[in-house]
Amino acid sequence: MLCAIADGLGNGPVAKESADVIPAILEQYPEETLDNLLLKCNELMVQKRGAAVALVKVDYKTQTISYSCVGNIKFYMYQRATGKMIYPLPVMGYLSGRKQKINTQTYACAKDDLFLLHSDGVVMNSPKSTIKESGSAKCLYETVYKEIEHGDDATFIVGSLLS
């Protein structure tokens, strides 16, 4: 499974043009590593405004989840069996066509682990406790949806792994 959030800088058609680069690349190269996908996306940002982009890839065979991000998109994963919360720090900046530092991180995942990926439009008081207290992906979705300000461009993805 491969999912992404792309938040074009600014607003309107120019921001959308930058964000639209990402799904096109993911569709064309779904088997590439996250590093290579982000680098390909970055190459196509020349002469565009740019975008904050985060990618998550789940490998069900190896039971791992990988995360890579350039920009202010946050990722949380709650490992139910251990009670451990994973919150990697994103790489600051945005894809713009200029050289970028890419830092893909991979973690073990198990059945019923929950994850949340969200743009800066999602503002939560306590994301870690919200995730820990959610019994399912549906419950987490409903909680986040109720908490967000619906006037901003809030984008989020929730998932329950390997279930």
> What was the pLDDT predicted at 89?
86
- Region 49-73: what's the mean pLDDT? 94
> What was the pLDDT predicted at 153?
79
CA gap 5, 9 in Å, rounded: 13
Domains delineated in the chain: 2-160 (3.60.40.10)
Say which range, 29-43, 60-74, 121-135, has the weakest mean pLDDT.
121-135
CA gap 43, 47 in Å, rounded: 10
- For 66-88, write each residue's pLDDT tens digit: 999 999 999 999 999 999 999 99
b/e per residue 96-120 (b: at least 16 CB within 10 A): beeebebbbeebebeebbbbbbbbe
Specify the pTM.
0.91
More confident residue, 24 or 154: 24
Token pair 């682990």: residue? 113
Q: What mean pLDDT, rounded, does the chain reach? A: 91
CA gap 144, 150 in Å, rounded: 11
